[in-house]
A and B are shown apart, each in its own frame.
Chain A
Amino acid sequence: MTSVRFTASVLCLLLAITSYARFARAQQRSASPMQELVAKGEYLAHVGDCVACHTVPGGKLFAGGRAIITPFGTLYSTNITPDLKNGIGNWTPDQFYRVMHDGVMPTGELLYPAMPFQYYTKVTRDDLDAIFAYLMSVPAVALRDKPDELRFPYSIRALVIGWRTLYFTPGVYRPNPTQSAPWNRGAYLVEGPGHCGMCHTPINALGGSSQAEAFQGGLIPEQGWYAPSLTSNREGGLGGWSIKDISDLLRTGTSMRGAVYGPMAEVVYNSLQYLSEPDIEAMAVYLKSLPSRPGAGQAAPPVPAAESSLLTSLGKDVYETYCATCHRSDGKGMPPAYPPLANNQSIEMTSAVNPIRMVLNGGFPPGTAGNLMPYGMPPFAQTLSDDQVAAVVTYIRSAWGNHGTPVTARDANTLRAAPLN
């Protein structure tokens, strides 16, 4: 009896395997070149994170209308569905290429650089054709674009000519023949469709960024979050991370070294979790190879020694009461559920904006295919006073060999007003 059952289950298993193989072959056979192009385009649209700006939360895919708040006023993302009247259904592949590669609309209007065409210009024609084919395949939505609300003089579109002269160099990514294929793939994804520099390269008062400062990190305008440097070990620099930890962080949102939060949680949720393992690993290879530079930014103004030691002793009390259950008294945390705070660049870096905001707002890492049920951190904005927040952040920035500078109650208070979405 038992042997019959065993044979039956082996047969079942074999049957399942062969029918899956047949199914997979059939899939391969039945996919037309157009379907393949659309699938490739969908993948690349994930890499480019088009959805983050061109879809309102809970709204119709790619129908636009999301407010993009900039220091120059508010822009509204556009409808990029194939709707003939309101979307891009009338565009040709050539016109789409010109928009992405040159930042010029079919009408001849210049795009504002809130649309990251300075990065998309590096994307190959083949890849842009695939993205266009995919966009043409999604349901058309009859939603009219909202007019932008930019302040004068930024409302004059022709001013973009000046910005382009200073900061825009069109050109597809050129592989570096001295580097490996994964490195080049990673560089292409990071510098091109991934447009990582949009946040991780500092921008100036004119909304421009210079290649010399690439990936040195900076405050993200209007969001109240600091995008760490990807080059400095003092900040988010990844030189000391293993390829596996970088890949885990990018793909699942968490790792043994730390978790993503704030705007990076959005990037992982909408974009990076959909990337293939080889592509994520290629990005990790490239990011890890970025040259290490000395700590960026100015040092924080010094806090008087007496005040600083008072902060640290109060901070230890607050830490033991509210934080140590998860992040442990030794700051080692319980990764990947609860990130370590000791030797964590996110805590130590020059700007204390991120650790202060984590204490105030808490949060969950994004729920991804690789981490479907993330562990969360409570917001402490309503539990802790400004003094307590300053104290505990000062403590975690200096305990366990961390090298961060003290923060003040005023820093904590300012960030209570930071926007949450």
Chain B
Amino acid sequence: MIARLAGAVLGAGVSLCVHGVFAQQQSAGAPDTMQERMQACAPCHGKDGAGTSSDYFPRIAGQPAGYLYEQLVGFHNDQRHYAPMNYLLEFLPESYLRQIANYFASLHPPAPEPLPPTASLQVLGRGKAIAMDGDPAHDIPACTSCHGPGLTGLHPDIPGLLGLRANYISAQLTAVRYRARNPTTSTCMQKILMRMTGQDITAVAAWLGSQRLPADARPLLAGALKLPMACESAGQ
């Protein structure tokens, strides 16, 4: 009994110490949460990473953590180039980048409404065909074959394609095609994009950008799909 009491006192003492030190390290006013720490992301990526009406800043919430981490490390190491992101992440340790990736991967806020498509029905039709069925004549697999039948991505590092804007998607696809995006990302996508024309990219981006994010947009679990091609990914 005395021992238990002593243990409890000791425990309380330890937790007080830990708490006291922690409170000193942190501020009196700022909440000690990831949400608070990630305020810097909200103006571009939306509250909780939900995305905004802007064409160029992507929704990041709910993406697979491995994918987000690869992008964060790419920006941190200056492998993926976008000066404002390189600047923000240059002096953050990889342990924190991992926490940031896990944090945004765990969030599933509703997405902003898709913008009305500006592309013609014919272009949207071509885009849908590539996304759902691919183009076997040109050896282009369907987006769904890797990004999941619901296009919401696959753990650990294949991103979801919905809840993003057409201009953002086409800019990223073009950058991957010309190896201007993070070269540590899987080489598969680059190979596939080399088989696609500029019109194909415009079409598939327009169609993806016009789709609404489903209520349950969680990525599939790792191993849930048999992928059509073997990928070399430096991020594994």
Contact = CB atoms under 8 A, between A and B. Distances in A.
A326 B78 CA distance: 29
Given A367-B96, A378-B43, A6 B3 contact: yes
Given A2-B1, A58-B79, A420-B83, A376 B88 contact: yes
B107 interface: no
A219 to B, nearest CB: 19
A421 interface: yes
A378 B40 contact: yes
Interface residues of B, number: 39
Given A58-B78, A383-B43, A6 B87 contact: no
Contacts of A383: 43
Give the size category of A's interface with B.
35 or more
B84 A381 contact: yes
Contacts of A363: 40, 87-88
Contacts of A338: 27, 29-30
A85 B61 CA distance: 49
Contacts of B42: 378
B26 interface: yes
Given A269-B91, A334-B28, A372-B96, A421 B78 contact: yes
A370 B93 CA distance: 12
B21 to A, nearest CB: 12
B99 A373 contact: yes
Contacts of B88: 362-364, 376, 379
Interface stretch (B31-39, B140-148, B149-157): B31-39
B232 interface: no
Q: Is the interface of B mostly helix, strand, loop or mixed?
A: helix
A265 B87 CA distance: 11
A204 interface: no
A154 interface: no
B78 A367 contact: no
A2 B40 contact: no
Nearest to B100: A373
Contact of A3 (B3, B29, B79): B3
A381 to B, nearest CB: 7
B7 interface: yes
A57 B90 CA distance: 9
A365 B91 CA distance: 8
A336 B83 contact: no
A361 interface: yes
Nearest to A325: B39
A382 B44 contact: yes
Given A2-B4, A334-B27, A373-B96, A421 B39 contact: no
A335 B42 CA distance: 21
Q: Is the interface of A mostly helix, strand, loop or mixed?
A: loop
Interface string B1-14: 11110110000000
A367 B30 contact: no
B86 interface: yes
B96 A326 contact: no
Contacts of A266: 90-91
A375 B90 contact: no
Interface of B: 1-4, 6-7, 25-30, 34, 36-44, 76-79, 83-84, 86-93, 95-96, 99
Closest A-B pairs by Cβ, 4 of them: A58-B77, A376-B40, A334-B29, A337-B30
Interface of A: 2-3, 5-7, 9, 57-58, 265-266, 268-269, 326, 328, 334-338, 361-368, 370-383, 420-421
Given A366-B92, A375-B37, A378-B43, 12 more contacts: A265-B91, A337-B29, A361-B87, A364-B40, A370-B25, A373-B37, A374-B92, A374-B96, A375-B40, A376-B41, A378-B39, A379-B40
21 contacts: A2-B1, A3-B3, A6-B4, A9-B7, A58-B79, A265-B91, A326-B39, A336-B25, A336-B27, A337-B27, A337-B36, A362-B40, A363-B87, A363-B88, A364-B92, A367-B91, A368-B93, A373-B37, A375-B39, A378-B39, A380-B43
